[in-house]
Amino acid sequence: MDSQALTALAGPELAPAPPPARLGWWTRLGAVGFGVLLLYPLAGLFARVGGWTWSGSARDASLASIRVSLELTGWAMLLVVLLGTPMALYIRRAGRRERLVWQAALVTSILLPPLALGILLSLALRPDGWVGSLLLQLGFVSSNSAGAFILTQVYVSMGYYVLGALLAFEALPAGLEAQAALLGAAPWQVFRRVTLPLARLGLAGALSLAWVRAIGEFGAVVITAYYPAGMPVQLWIHLQSLGMRAVMPLLVAFLCAALPIPVLIHLWGRRHA
């Protein structure tokens, strides 16, 4: 995801729309064609694959994967917000050079291919390594555990959230936070009463993006946390062992879980912005 896409997600006030122009019918036709092509993959939902399988072990495994994905991604997002928001505030106030270093680090974490990230993460946290053994002593199992699942999701989504939050904070009107402080508000009060309400829309966009990225993650999670299986891994297992008829119901559940929640977050942020 490049910075333009993040800017667009952060809210319309960051990228004001150009004034409306008279559009010819052929331009509109081209735009409609583009839209159809863009959403065409959804036509796969109506493909004839035979009767959908939603019973027995396939149903139980699907329901378990839905619960795993929603619950563990929720925890991962909590960590992303709690760690990423102060980090974005810090980077915003950092000097120019330090800021460039942080931005490079964030972009690197975004650009790491998921499969490579999964392999690197499992090597870096291997039980015989000093970090892995330390975590093991603290009760954290670094592979095939709920903790490994959450940690991997945090890694794949943190960069998106922090960059989006940074854009949201940078879009605040200049001088408001200083004025709030001069009016006697302590730093925490400035954040709670001014920064957060004004950046809410952008933060909601960043969180939506992080949610979609995390809940849909397959390549990294399949290496670090094959168990407990979340929806993407379970889809893969169904595809390998039971075929498309078992995949389709879980696929619908996957889309229903992955798409509406970020849209709701975004609408909530817009309503309160």
Which residues contact other proteins (rule: CB under 8 A)? Answer: 173, 175-176, 178-187, 189-190, 193-194, 197-198, 273
Closest approach of other proteins to the CB of residue 193, in Å: 8
> Residues 78, 84, 85, 90: what is their CA dihedral angle, to the nearest 10 degrees?
160
Nearer to other proteins among residue 83 and residue 273 (C-beta): 273
Closest approach of other proteins to the CB of residue 161, in Å: 22
On whether the CB atoms of residues 160 and 210 are closer than 8 A, the answer is: yes
- Tokens representing 142? 């670094």
Closest approach of other proteins to the CB of residue 188, in Å: 10
Nearer to other proteins among residue 255 and residue 273 (C-beta): 273
Nearer to other proteins among residue 100 and residue 186 (C-beta): 186
Closest approach of other proteins to the CB of residue 22, in Å: 31
Q: Long-range contacts for 266-272 (Cβ within 8 Å, ≥24 apart)?
A: 266/204, 266/205, 266/208, 268/204, 269/200, 269/201, 269/202, 269/203, 269/204, 269/205, 270/11, 270/201, 270/204, 272/197, 272/200, 272/201
Closest approach of other proteins to the CB of residue 174, in Å: 8
Q: Which amino acid is at 178?
A: A
Q: From the CB of residue 5, how many other CB atoms can be counted at a distance below 10 Å? A: 12
Nearer to other proteins among residue 105 and residue 176 (C-beta): 176
Distance from C-alpha of 243 to C-alpha of 246, rounded to nearest angstrom: 6
Nearer to other proteins among residue 28 and residue 272 (C-beta): 272
